[in-house]
């Protein structure tokens, strides 16, 4: 089949969207054997005020238009393509006839995901999720509606951007970001011994932590954290997906003050380092009153209170966060047994997490801090589990995340690991991932420019004659490659 035959244009009619003609296409993401216990489809909302949903949308499934997304709207070729297509559309709306399918990239229990582009705009790639509404039970349909409402309210760089929600006949078509690097589970399987280096783990889980912090601040409990649901964008940063198992809860944001000791460097003092007390105000928004008795999720990531069936709350996400860190570092989950039943028994038992270290194996820097964080997250009593009371605010202060400048995390350079192809952006500052340090090449260029500037100023103003204020040393700086 040549390239022209592999592109499919859709018309706005009662179509057969089963796509049986392209079942031979290679899939990038399929259902994992570690699938969720309960699963509905991934649905994405229509979230741009200039666009409108299809006329077939009923009041029961309508998604209200909300505010623009400042984090993803600017410098985003996808929004430019969508806006251009809707501007030329007769009714100002996006329709299936504007889309052309490239290939199948994944499939789930209730839908398929295709790589697609807008006609005449080949520079912007999208993922189109197609869900058959007639195949859903009433309960699963309610899950889809709840998920669509949740996703329509999200505005975060590590969560999906929703471009269109089109309903034609009994199909729900949802346009969202395409992540060419697949998911974190597939990336993990490409590594030696299915493990990631500590620095790479710190990079990925720090971004996951911020995404969970945002969800919890909205009163949303995720309940389906696992590597399969962590997609990797073309720039190497993550995007959470699959929000069908979420549930909403009330939230009471508050500002809390605490005192901490800060060490002042004695570099300019005759008395050495000094400690002083300072007051820090922190924003805390955690759904501590969240409660549900639904047994949903992936069995290896289920929290003990969820396995028991006596009810659970926000703590299930922080338990899953600890399991995620463990799996990325060790290549397996901490309570995995020979069968699903034995795994659930291990989770429900009173035994704590164990770490398997091969004899003679050299430990990476940061592994001790990672183990300490995992132990605090995998506490089986949710009342004593790290994060359950004050959420990500407490977790970000753990030594495992020392050195991370949280407001700048979007500018960090992703780790260089096997199987991860990262598209570099010339407009963004590339800083070393996690630590935030600039690259050696940039440092050399900076000092060379600074040296040249000082040399010019010195010759112009003869500042080198005043040794009380300036002292210059000429260094032999190599040319920057």
Please check whether residue 25 is in contact with residue 104, taking contact to mean a CB–CB distance below 8 angstroms: yes
Residue 277's DSSP bridge partners are 261
Q: Is 272 exposed, middle or buried (0-12, 13-18, 19+ CB in 10 A)?
A: exposed
* Start-end of H helices in 8-117: 70-73, 77-88
Cα(82)–Cα(117) distance, rounded to whole angstroms? 10
Cα(175)–Cα(327) distance, rounded to whole angstroms? 31
Cα(212)–Cα(362) distance, rounded to whole angstroms? 32
Q: Is 359 exposed, middle or buried (0-12, 13-18, 19+ CB in 10 A)?
A: exposed
Please check whether residue 96 is in contact with residue 10, taking contact to mean a CB–CB distance below 8 angstroms: yes
Q: What angle (nearest 5°) sits at the alpha carbon of residue 58, between those of residues 54 and 62?
A: 75
> Which one of 2, 14, 91, 224 is the catalytic residue?
224
Query: Closest Cα to residue 85, out of 113, 47, 124?
Result: 124
Query: Closest Cα to residue 291, out of 149, 392, 388, 379?
Result: 388
Residue 12 known to be catalytic: no
Query: 281 Cβ partners below 8 Å, 6+ apart?
Result: 255, 256, 257
Q: Any idea which residues carry the catalytic annotation?
A: 224
């Amino acid at each position: 089949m040549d390239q022209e035959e592999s592109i499919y244009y859709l018309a706005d009619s009662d179509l057969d969207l089963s796509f049986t003609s392209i079942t031979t296409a290679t899939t990038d993401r399929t259902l994992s054997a570690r699938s969720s216990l309960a699963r509905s489809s991934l649905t994405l909302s229509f979230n741009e005020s200039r666009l409108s949903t299809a006329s077939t949308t009923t009041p029961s499934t309508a998604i209200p238009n909300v505010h623009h997304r400042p984090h993803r709207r600017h410098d985003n070729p996808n929004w430019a393509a969508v806006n251009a297509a809707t501007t030329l559309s007769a009714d100002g709306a996006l329709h299936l006839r504007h889309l052309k399918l490239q290939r199948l990239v994944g499939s789930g229990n209730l839908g398929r995901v295709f790589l697609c582009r807008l006609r005449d705009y080949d520079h912007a790639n999208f993922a189109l999720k197609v869900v058959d509404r007639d195949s859903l039970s009433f309960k699963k349909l309610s899950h889809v509606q709840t998920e669509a409402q949740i996703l329509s309210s999200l505005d975060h760089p590590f969560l999906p951007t929703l471009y269109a929600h089109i309903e034609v006949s009994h199909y729900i078509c949802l346009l969202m970001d395409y992540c060419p690097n697949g998911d974190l589970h597939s990336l993990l399987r490409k590594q030696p011994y299915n493990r990631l280096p500590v620095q790479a783990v710190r990079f990925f889980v720090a971004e996951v932590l911020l995404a969970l912090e945002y969800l919890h601040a909205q009163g949303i409990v995720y309940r389906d954290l696992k590597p399969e649901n962590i997609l990797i964008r073309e720039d190497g940063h993550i995007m959470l997906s699959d929000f069908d198992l979420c549930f909403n809860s009330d939230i009471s944001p508050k500002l809390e003050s605490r005192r901490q000791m800060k060490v002042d460097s004695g570099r300019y003092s005759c008395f050495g380092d000094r400690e002083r007390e300072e007051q820090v105000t922190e924003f805390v928004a955690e759904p501590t009153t969240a409660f549900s008795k639904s047994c949903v999720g992936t069995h290896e990531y289920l929290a003990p209170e969820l396995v028991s069936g006596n009810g659970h709350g926000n703590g299930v996400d922080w338990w899953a966060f600890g399991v995620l860190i463990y799996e990325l570092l060790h290549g397996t989950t901490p309570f995995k047994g020979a069968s699903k039943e034995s795994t659930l028994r291990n989770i429900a038992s009173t035994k704590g997490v164990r770490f398997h270290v091969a004899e003679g194996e050299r430990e990476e820097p940061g592994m001790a801090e990672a183990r300490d964080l995992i132990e605090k997250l995998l506490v089986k009593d949710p009342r004593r589990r790290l994060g359950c009371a004050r959420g990500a605010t407490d977790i970000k202060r753990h030594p495992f995340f020392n050195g991370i400048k949280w407001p700048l995390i979007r500018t960090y350079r992703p780790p260089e690991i096997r199987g991860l192809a990262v598209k570099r952006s010339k407009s963004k500052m590339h800083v070393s991932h996690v630590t935030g340090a600039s690259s050696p090449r940039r440092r050399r260029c900076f000092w060379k420019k600074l040296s040249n500037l000082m040399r010019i100023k010195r010759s112009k103003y003869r500042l080198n004659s005043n040794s009380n204020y300036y002292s210059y040393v000429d260094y032999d700086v190599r040319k920057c490659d």
